[in-house]
Amino acid sequence: MWLFTQWGFFSCVCAREGTGAPEEPVDPQHIMVRTRMKLHLESLQAHLPDLIGGCEIRENDDAEYPYRIHVSKSIWSQVMMNLTQEIDYDNFTSFLETAPCFDDRNYVKQMKKIRDIMQPDSSADSLPRKTAKQK
C-alpha cells in the first residue's frame, strides 16, 4: 500500500520472516514501512514517538526503498488511526503548501504531479462504470 501523508511518502508491505530476504516467507503479523527518503521516516517517528520512535531505521542501498522500519500490524494500525484522526483539512495538497511538516520542497510538487496523473482522461475506458442502480 502506498501512503502519502504530511510526514512523507511510504510503501507499506508485509515484512518477511527470518533475515527478511526476498526468498523468506511473508510475515503477515508485521509491516515493513519503506521509503526512499530517510527524512520521511524520521519525520513520522518524531511525530509518533510513543508508537514508532524506537524502531530502528534499516538501510539497504540496493533496494528500491532503501530506508525501512519493521512494526507489528497492531502498532501500525494505531499509527494509521492517529493519522486519520488528525485530518482537519479539505484539500491535501493545499494543506501541504501551508503546513509542511518537514523540509522537503519537492514533496508538494511531487504530490501535485501524482494528483494530475491520477486525473481521468476523456477516453471511455477511464470513465467510471455505472452500477445497476444508476442505469
Model confidence pLDDT, tens digit, residues 64-81:
999 999 999 999 999 999
CB atoms within 10 A of CB 79: 21
Domain count within the chain: 1
Average pLDDT, rounded, for the chain: 88
Residue 29 contacts residue 38 (beta carbons within 8 Å): no
The answer to whether residue 96 sits within a structural domain is no
Give the residue from 36, 38, 35, 43 showing the smallest Cα distance to 6.
Answer: 43
The answer to whether residue 38 sits within a structural domain is yes
pLDDT of residue 133: 61
The answer to whether residue 129 sits within a structural domain is no
Here the cell at position 108 is 508538494
Tens digits of residue pLDDT in 41-70 = 999 999 999 999 999 999 999 999 999 999
The answer to whether residue 11 sits within a structural domain is yes
Read off the pLDDT band of 33 (50, 70, 90). very high
Residue 79's domain comprises 2-88
Q: How far apart are CA 83 and CA 39, in angstroms?
A: 18
Between residues 123 and 85, the one the model is more confident about? 85
Give the three-class secondary structure for 55.
Answer: coil
The answer to whether residue 28 sits within a structural domain is yes
The answer to whether residue 22 sits within a structural domain is yes
The answer to whether residue 113 sits within a structural domain is no
Longest distance between any two alpha carbons in the chain, whole Å? 53
